[in-house]
């Protein structure tokens, strides 16, 4: 945690907020049995204002909704926040079939008896964890109604036929949502009112360059710059609806560099992690042309990692 706090101080994040997170960790030490659920920081979200807003929301005891388009770092920030606060994480990945049982738990047989197996929402509530509600606007509103009492001032989960579960003081719920995906819907007013909402900005070229350097310290400055330009160009084409946003994939860019380090050529790596994210052949051609204008297909690791 000290390393993460130090990094955030260098980013200019308010020291009082960081001190508040440290006091939180000391006041609510995590259960050692769930230490493996506390994320390790492999990459850092860059964005001073967003960091300060998010930390302030969580310190105030409120729940957080990170809203915005793809590749804005929502999931990365979730993991970073859990690491900063020293909280174990339970993840819920929403889809159209998500129901209440998938959130709070379901009946199961244990030793010949019917017992209640707690779901991720109940576990994070009881153990003071951070529950990450990923793509929350993919689920039907009626299935989310079970969260209302947990997310407001009552901070309880009423499991029919079982005990009332009280949400631990250290527990927080962090939701994410993308705009415009197939199957998404607007959150109803009752649910959205229970979150403080941060609209996530697109990553700047400067911050993306820093992200690449942090993950690949030996990357060539010239090649890193071309990857940044490529990402920006793909994002602009997606905004103009020239291509879908499938190729605007930050994880894909990082995965491509990992594959190049393993021995694949730049063309092979980008084909696997960026081009193949879409299944339309015409769109694939457009993306290949965009990549080819920036990054030659025959670059190998000796060139890419020559920093």
pLDDT at residue 102 greater than cutoff 90: no
pLDDT of residue 161: 67
DSSP 234: H
pLDDT of residue 179: 67
Element (H, E) at 198: strand 195-199
pLDDT of residue 146: 81
- Taking the complete model, does pTM exceed 0.75, yes or no? yes
- Is 179 or 28 the better-scoring residue by pLDDT? 28
Percentage of the chain surpassing pLDDT 90?
Answer: 63
CATH architecture of 2-199: 3-Layer(aba) Sandwich (3.40)
DSSP 280-300: -HHHHHHHHHHHHTTS-TT--
In the predicted model, what is the mean pLDDT of the chain? Answer: 89
DSSP 129-187: -EEEEETGGGS-HHHHGGGHHHHSTT-EEE-TTSPEEEPPTT-EEEEEE-SS-TT--PP
pLDDT of residue 75: 92
pLDDT at residue 94 greater than cutoff 90: no
- Is 21 or 114 the better-scoring residue by pLDDT? 21
pLDDT of residue 180: 57
First to last CA, the chain: 29
pLDDT of 210-247, one tens digit each?
999 989 999 999 999 999 999 999 999 988 889 988 88
pLDDT of residue 217: 93
CB burial string 132-146: b at 16+ within 10 A, e below: bbbbbbbbeeebbeb
pLDDT of residue 5: 93
d(CA 229, CA 233): 6
135 phi, psi to nearest 5 deg: 55, 50
pLDDT of 104-117, one tens digit each?
777 676 666 767 77
Q: Strand 195-199 vs strand 89-93: parallel, antiparallel, or unpaired?
A: unpaired
pLDDT of residue 114: 66
pLDDT of residue 307: 65
pLDDT of residue 176: 94
192 phi, psi to nearest 5 deg: -65, -30
d(CA 221, CA 85): 34
pLDDT of residue 108: 73
pLDDT of 146-202, one tens digit each?
888 888 888 888 877 677 889 999 999 999 998 655 555 677 788 888 999 999 998
Q: Are residues 81 and 110 in contact, defined by beta-carbon separation less than 8 angstroms?
A: no
pLDDT at residue 30 greater than cutoff 80: yes
pLDDT of residue 77: 96
Percentage of the chain surpassing pLDDT 70?
Answer: 93
- Encode 47-116 in three state secondary structure: CHHHHHHHHHHHHCCCEEEEECCCCCCHHHHHHHHHHHHCCCEEEEECCCCCCHHHHHEEEEEECCEEEE
Q: Which range scores top for mean pLDDT: 115-119, 140-144, 277-281?
A: 277-281
Burial of residue 78 (number of CB atoms within 10 Å: 0-12, 13-18, 19+): buried
pLDDT of 38-59, one tens digit each?
999 888 999 999 999 999 999 9
Q: Are residues 259 and 272 in contact, defined by beta-carbon separation less than 8 angstroms?
A: yes
Q: What is the CA radius of gyration of the chain?
A: 21
268's tokens: 């092979």
d(CA 121, CA 92): 8
From 123-132, 134-143, 292-301, the region with the lowest mean pLDDT: 134-143
pLDDT of residue 187: 76
């Amino acid at each position: 945690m000290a390393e993460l706090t130090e990094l955030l101080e260098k980013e200019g994040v308010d020291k009082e907020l960081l001190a508040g997170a440290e006091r939180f960790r000391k006041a609510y030490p995590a259960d050692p049995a769930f230490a493996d659920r506390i994320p390790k920081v492999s990459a850092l979200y860059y964005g001073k204002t967003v960091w300060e807003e998010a930390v302030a929301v969580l310190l105030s005891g409120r729940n957080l909704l990170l809203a915005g388009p793809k590749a804005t770092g929502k999931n990365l920030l979730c993991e970073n926040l859990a690491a900063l606060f020293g909280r174990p994480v339970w993840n819920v990945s929403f889809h159209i079939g998500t129901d209440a049982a998938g959130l709070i738990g379901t009946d199961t047989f244990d030793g010949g008896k019917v017992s209640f197996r707690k779901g991720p929402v109940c576990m994070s509530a009881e153990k003071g964890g951070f529950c990450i509600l990923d793509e929350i606007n993919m689920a039907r509103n009626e299935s989310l109604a079970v969260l209302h009492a947990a997310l407001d001032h009552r901070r309880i989960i009423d499991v029919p036929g079982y005990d009332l579960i009280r949400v631990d003081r250290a527990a927080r719920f962090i939701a994410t949502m993308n705009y415009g995906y197939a199957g998404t819907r607007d959150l109803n007013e009752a649910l959205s009112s229970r979150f403080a909402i941060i609209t996530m900005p697109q990553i700047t070229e400067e911050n993306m360059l820093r992200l690449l350097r942090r993950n690949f310290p030996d990357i060539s400055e010239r090649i890193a710059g071309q990857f940044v330009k490529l990402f920006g160009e793909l994002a602009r084409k997606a905004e103009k609806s020239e291509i879908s946003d499938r190729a605007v994939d930050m994880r894909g860019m990082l995965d491509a560099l990992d594959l190049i380090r393993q021995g694949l050529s730049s063309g092979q790596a980008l084909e696997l992690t960026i081009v193949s994210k879409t299944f339309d052949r015409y769109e694939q051609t457009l993306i290949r042309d965009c990549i080819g204008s920036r990054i030659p297909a025959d670059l190998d690791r000796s060139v890419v990692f020559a920093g």
